[in-house]
Amino acid sequence: MTEIPMASTGRSGVLNAGILRRDAIRERLGATSLTFPGLILIALVLLVPVLWLFWLSAFDAAGELSWANYERMGRSIYIRTLTTTFRIAFIVTLCCALMGYPVAYLMSQSGRRVSLVILLCVLLPFWTSVLVRTYAWLVLLQRTGLINTWLQNWGIIDEPLALVHNELGTIIGMIHVMLPFMILPLYASMKAVDSSLMLAASNCGATPTQAFWQVYFPQTITGVSSGAGLIFVLCLGFFVTPVLLGGGRTYMWAMQIADNISLYGNWGAASALGVVLVIATAIVLLAVQFVLRRAGGTK
């Protein structure tokens, strides 16, 4: 038998490895080049407006480079508006999680026909404009609306309740708009849970409550985090519902931005508010990503 020199074998192995590595890099570059049109589109649609906001916020009303637009953030009106925005966003997110989890659980545990009917009811509001839905809540919640009229006719209340043109009406309307954004991620995560794990927990002596909290719920935390992050971010920039149902008494950050432009024509101040909102949104998204990584067991 002819023996193959070890040196030549090692040299050929190194050459083959180099060729494979070069082919892999070439394939990766080819696949990445296909994304260039999408990256350019994202840069034009997303990055350019954000950079333009940063640029405008750095100039005062006289057109001079200044931090005046950010210094005014310390005023009580801005602090109160920002606090109101985050408080309402947190309340709406919490209520959507508490209301959406049972609905998503029912959808995941029901048969195909029942789950499709529930899913249709969840998606039905998307077929109607947010403005129309908000006006519908205005009709329901106002002092002479259907809810107050029914309560008075049944003798439950003597005077109409203040259900609209305040923070309560704003929260009710926003919950109605945001609830599907919690149910859909939860339903997707619940359908991915292996039902045999609950049976295994029961066989090991766990009660239904223990099996739910220790086995089922931790596997759906990704859906809760995704829905909560999405709703919280959307609530930070919500405008239509607070304007109509808040009646000017519930003043949120987006309304502050609109007033700086429409009433005062101060694009620099409005841009500074937008920059603060973008930074707050980025922080929330990073927090959600951190929670998802911890829930997934990755670092």
List pLDDT tens digits, range 219-273.
898 899 889 989 998 998 888 889 889 887 888 888 888 888 887 777 888 888 8
Domain ranges of the chain: 1-44, 66-296
Q: Which residue has the higher pLDDT, 292 or 10?
A: 292
Residue 16 pLDDT class (50, 70, 90 cuts): low
Q: The pTM is what?
A: 0.80
Tell me the DSSP string of 104-161: HHHHHHS-HHHHHHHHHHHHGGGGS-HHHHHHHHHHHHSTTSHHHHHHHHTTS-SS--
- DSSP letter for 164, please: S
Polymer length in residues for the chain? 299
**pLDDT tens per residue across span 71-96:** 878 788 888 888 899 999 999 999 99
- pLDDT, one tens digit per residue, over 155-199 is 888 888 888 888 999 999 999 999 999 999 999 999 888 878 888
As a whole number of angstroms, the distance between CA 89 and CA 202 comes to: 38
Q: What token pair was written down for 277?
A: 């909102």
Measuring CA to CA, which residue among 122, 240, 249, 280 is closest to residue 187? 122
CATH number, domain 66-296: 1.10.3720.10
% of residues, the chain, pLDDT over 70:
89
Q: What are the angstrom distances between the C-alpha of 161 and each of 166, 173, 204?
A: 11, 16, 52
Its sign, for the CA torsion 191, 196, 199, 200, is: negative
- Which amino acid is residue 292, in one-letter code? L
